[in-house]
Structure 1
């Protein structure tokens, strides 16, 4: 394994802010390029091992570089998330990296293994590193996961640069700009090959970019860049614990809005709102927890919760005495949380960041 590295630059100054590591197999063989390499690993049942090895090699090469980059972007595939980190990877990180590692999630990673994705996100923050969400714009699900993950970096898919005048591109970039402004995330445009692409990327809201205009992938010992010494500090500081909020879904919801009595009318109204949302074609994610025996007054069933969502996650380890359901689509969210202890209490949320916080609690209870 000999990874290649491609520069990521500031679109205003063209200063190099960091490198993205790109997996490559043995040079000159049929497995040199990642599509065949990962397909072969999948067929052999060793995809997770290969992905872990790619991460190890990326860190090893960057650590050994004469001038390490300030930021190193490393991809994380779903297959690697449901296994422990390798001893070698932990060793490299524990020694102290001379750069800030940015773990890149694809939109496939989050719905496939949400609990593991949250766990690795939490580790990245504890170790002082960061997160990026890749391929944003290919599927509405990536937009729905943005407020849940709250990455330091949002990467626009190159299809938006190639066809920037469509209604889809406009809607995606408007949502990304709003989320970046709210969370202080940096937006990166991929696939910049010409000066026209660069101007398009800036019009769409990107601050940084990567593509052949700034450099093709190369071995790190062939990389000759002057790095911006402030690049690592250009990203938001780490937030340990953000992806593993303390408490149950109801307790987290009640921090954002006081609980009210769970009367029959209030529960019926909240359930009706939930039904309306999950019947909508635009719903991307539904995450829910319901006791096996149900709760009095809750008439929404797990089958209804599936609705038309692109990703439905029903907890197989529900919270006793609590019902919680969160619905998130591009730019909106709704959560209904009920606790039936001494009395029935209800919290409903339609503020997207608050709904995302409840969703993170739920996802942390899922494998």
Structure 2
């Protein structure tokens, strides 16, 4: 075992030293026109070597403690190969490794993005990152938008919790996991696709089906509400030099435009909430009624996402909301806003609510309109991200 570990460690060190990552590119296709709207970059190690395929490549990097370095090299190589292409795609999809989302961006990436790219890139978050790095996701999404690019939420449908994050992240592209395509008539698939369709209608996001391998898959993808698709039916991943697709020149405009500042709302949770709804006197009766409404939402679904910030002088009953919940995602801020308490409940199918209380005045705001609740959630999540990420405004 030690010999295998030493060999893998040596091999990954060589990959990093000699920049031996050669990305392959898979087409993403408009299901109506058949035109290619973009390419997704897929990392590959040295051809024919032990670390050629991504599972072994990333496992070796993780074992050697150099996962961040490998992930950044993959981003660099994807950008370099696409910039050098004779006919770059309108959109380039790049995957973000969840475990190292908060790493500093290399000077090479900053240089390329700063010089201007002949395409728009879409940074893909897998839903695996949601429970571990929600604050970082919001920070990074805001900075990606500052540079005119966008984000995609990948593997949607595997974990119902990802649906609850949709209105908070508001990705430009929502990628349906291939498991939905394989099981199109289950209650789970219908529920996921109904929620995704409503979000796409609200925000203009493009729905993309993964795993399209046959003509039947293509028909199913359309039935599930997908506008775009990717999979072997449209083409196998290939080096950039072998890409001969006919690109849709208007593809970049089909994705919602960037919104600098959208993910980084200004103000405290109470200030943001008061901008959406009336601040009323927090009498005992009003407070009890608001807390009861939150309890009902929390009890309604195990897949709810709960965000809480409880000030010392806030609402004494607020922490008790979590006493009997079975929710899988509970995020309690360890640096609450002084003089304020807030709780946000967002569920994947039933709606959402936010309660914000200002201790000094005793006023409260209760919101139950999804966009307003998502605004408050973003304020809270911004307080979760590492300070070094929030302060680094030059990150692409």
TM range (shorter): over 0.9
- Aligned equivalent of 2:356: 337
Per the alignment, in what secondary structure is the counterpart of residue 124 of structure 2? strand
Question: What stretches of structure 2 of length at least 5 have no aligned partner?
Answer: 1-20, 386-396
Aligned to 2:260, which of 232, 236, 240?
240
Question: Is 2:143 the partner of 1:99?
Answer: no
Question: Is 2:33 the partner of 1:13?
Answer: yes
Determine the C-alpha separation between the residues in 2 that align with 1:109 and 1:48. 15
- Aligned equivalent of 2:344: 326
- Aligned equivalent of 2:316: 298
Determine the C-alpha separation between the residues in 1 that align with 2:268 and 2:101. 24
Question: Is 2:169 the partner of 1:142?
Answer: no
CA RMSD after TM alignment: 1.3
- Aligned equivalent of 1:223: 243
Question: Is 2:240 the partner of 1:182?
Answer: no
Determine the C-alpha separation between the residues in 1 that align with 2:56 and 2:170. 32
Question: Is 2:290 the partner of 1:270?
Answer: yes
Equivalence map 1:1-367=2 (5 Å):
1-291=21-311, 293-295=312-314, 297-301=315-319, 304=322, 307-331=325-349, 332-341=351-360, 343-367=361-385
Question: What stretches of structure 1 of length at least 5 have no aligned partner?
Answer: none
Q: CA deviation at 1:229?
A: 0.7
Normalising by structure 2, we get a TM-score of 0.89
Per the alignment, in what secondary structure is the counterpart of residue 162 of structure 2? helix
Normalising by structure 1, we get a TM-score of 0.96
Determine the C-alpha separation between the residues in 1 that align with 2:381 and 2:101. 14
Q: CA deviation at 1:303?
A: 7.5
Are the equivalent residues in 1 in contact too, given 2:298–2:304 (CA < 8 A)?
Answer: no
Are the equivalent residues in 1 in contact too, given 2:273–2:372 (CA < 8 A)?
Answer: yes
Judged with a 3 Å threshold, the aligned counterparts in structure 2 of structure 1 residues 202 and 271 are, in CA distance, closer, same or farther, namely same
Determine the C-alpha separation between the residues in 1 that align with 2:76 and 2:88. 15
- Aligned equivalent of 2:389: none
Determine the C-alpha separation between the residues in 1 that align with 2:91 and 2:125. 16
Once the two structures are superposed, residues 53-77 of structure 1 have per-residue CA deviations (whole angstroms, 9 ceiling, x without a partner) of 1111111110011111100000112
Q: CA deviation at 1:305?
A: 6.5
Once the two structures are superposed, residues 348-367 of structure 1 have per-residue CA deviations (whole angstroms, 9 ceiling, x without a partner) of 11111111111000000002
